[in-house]
Chains A and B, each alone.
Chain A
């Protein structure tokens, strides 16, 4: 399991080996923005790896191709990654993504209406 810090909210998400960041977040009840739910189609999950890049597994050809084809050029940075493809080999990565929300707190949000 690797620890990943999500900015600006400041959460730490534990990601299982072989699991992607978005999938891990969804599994644990976080809201991670998406439209296609992990199909590398929507680019809505895209995030920036702002520190600890060596703790990430580099993008494969399919992820690069998806970003080249589908991500508006003005949004794409060298540090852009698809959270639905991003995996980690070590602790210490810091990922920037707006709109990530924590699992609903059963005390204050009994309906689980976090979306």
Chain B
């Protein structure tokens, strides 16, 4: 870590444990430089993004053999390529001749060939070289097959996604996802498929942007329409259970105590607000199911249990997979799971809202924020290849619901506020915002590694 001590310590902050500048001194304060300091950001690139498991694409982006999609993280580009045996390989996206990036975006390798657009060298879908134009003009030592093979990166499939790790010595994915993988499996994470997928670019650090989704504490002020007509003073702050886990992961969800829904009306009204304002956790489909049993509910019935039963009956009738006990998952009625370092799942019933946040344009103060609506489709339904609908402005009400627009607008105001004279650190609630401190402490642990 000497380079970090030398480069960053003097210039940008007093290094803490393992030479990490602007370290977390506890779980309750986040030094503001962690959100804009160039040295801190460079350290994240070296010690976090180059060495962590991260979601590179959803499987529905590359459904067929020879489909590919590019994944970019901090200036590194990888190609996720579906193989004829349906496995997925992650190949570093650079020609072995003179480094030209081989593919951009998403597409298909017709004829199973990756072709360099510069001099036409070619590779099979598995990264083995298949053609060198004018090979007779090269010294044999320049064309050793091992050197010509496209470099491969660690890739594993879990939860409907392809995950990559640029560190060849990383421990297995499943270890890194502990304990949230088990939690997500209780809600059948692997059954979800893309319903829609959009992106916004935000003028904010990637961590700051995602912290807005780690707590429900902001709900009555940021999303007053979700507070059921209550003022922020009257809105109960302790409705959620917040769990900070090992490895930087966390989760929150409604506390299970007491009647979940006081009436069928609260269930439908809340569902409508989510469906209109977000179109991802509760869907029209669910509201139709709820309407269907509205008149059958008797006073004193357990509305939550009746809703689960109606959804399950509907799924069975429609051929939608419904694993045994799905309705018993702690996430079934809505919850949030944060997968360190940058992925969110917010499941409800057999749907899910999902986010992925990445640094953008090599600038600590910008990020790409992607949003997915996922749901469980009938097993026999043939889904089109998943494509992003596009990048939309944060206040584009044609493309964003009210709820994300409200979240996005505060995120940029926070980033701007960080630069205020006299503002040194954020301060966090022990009870409602512990997931944020937990993420930063894990980040420091990663940054301090040799």
A84 near B120 (CB under 8 angstroms)? no
List CB contacts (< 8 Å) of B273-300 with chain A.
none
Bits for B97-141, please: 1 = Cβ < 8 Å to A, else 0: 000000000011111110101001010000000000000000000
Q: In the complex the two chains form, what is the Cα distance from A35 to B115 in whole Å? A: 8
Chain A to chain B contacts (Cβ below 8 Å), 20 pairs: A20-B110, A22-B110, A22-B111, A23-B111, A26-B110, A26-B112, A27-B111, A36-B115, A37-B110, A37-B111, A37-B113, A37-B122, A38-B108, A38-B109, A38-B110, A38-B111, A39-B107, A39-B110, A39-B115, A41-B117
Shortest distance from the beta carbon of A13 to any chain B beta carbon, whole Å: 14
Is residue A80 contacting chain B, with contact meaning CB distance below 8 A? Answer: no
A2 CB-CB contact with B under 8 Å: no
Interface centre among B107, B110, B111, B117 (most CB of A within 10 A): B110
What is the distance, in angstroms, from A113's C-beta to the closest C-beta of chain B? 13
Given A37-B111, A38-B108, 15 extra CB contacts under 8 A: A22-B110, A23-B110, A26-B110, A26-B111, A26-B112, A27-B111, A35-B120, A36-B115, A37-B110, A37-B122, A38-B109, A38-B111, A39-B107, A39-B110, A41-B117
**Chain A interface residue count, Cβ-Cβ cutoff 8 angstroms:** 13
Please, which residues of chain A bring their CB within 8 A of the CB of B109? 37-38
Taking the closest CB of chain A, its distance from the CB of B317, in whole angstroms, is 31
B114 to chain A: closest residue by CB: A37
CB distance from A89 to the nearest CB of B (A): 19
Overall SS of chain B's interface: mixed
Residues of A that sit less than 8 Å from B by CB: 20, 22-23, 26-27, 34-39, 41, 84
Q: List residues 58-115 of chain B with CB under 8 A from any CB of chain A.
A: 107-113, 115
Q: How far is the CA of A37 from the CA of B123 in the complex (A)?
A: 11
CA distance A75 to B370 in the complex (A): 45
Q: Give bound CA distance, A20 to B111, whole Å.
A: 11
The smallest C-beta distance from A32 to any residue of chain B, in angstroms, reads 8
A89 to B109, CA, bound (A): 23
Distance in angstroms between the alpha carbons of A51 and B91 in the assembled complex: 43
Chain A nearest CB, measured from B130 CB (Å):
10
Q: How far is the CA of A20 from the CA of B110 in the complex (A)?
A: 9
Contact digits for B192-227, partner A, Cβ 8 Å, 1 yes 0 no: 000000000000000000000000000000000000
Please, which residue of chain B has its CB at the minimum distance from the CB of A84? B110
Which of chain B's residues have a CB closer than 8 A to the CB of A37? 109-111, 113, 115, 122
Does B117 lie within 8 Å of A34, measured CB to CB? no
Q: A34 to B112, alpha carbons, bound, how many Å?
A: 13
Nearest to A85 among chain B residues (CB) is B110
User: How near does chain A come to B116, taking the closest CB pair, in angstroms?
Assistant: 10
- Report Cα–Cα, A38/B112, bound state, in Å: 10
A67 to B132, CA, bound (A): 27
Q: Could you say which residues of chain A place their CB within 8 Å of the CB of B120?
A: 35
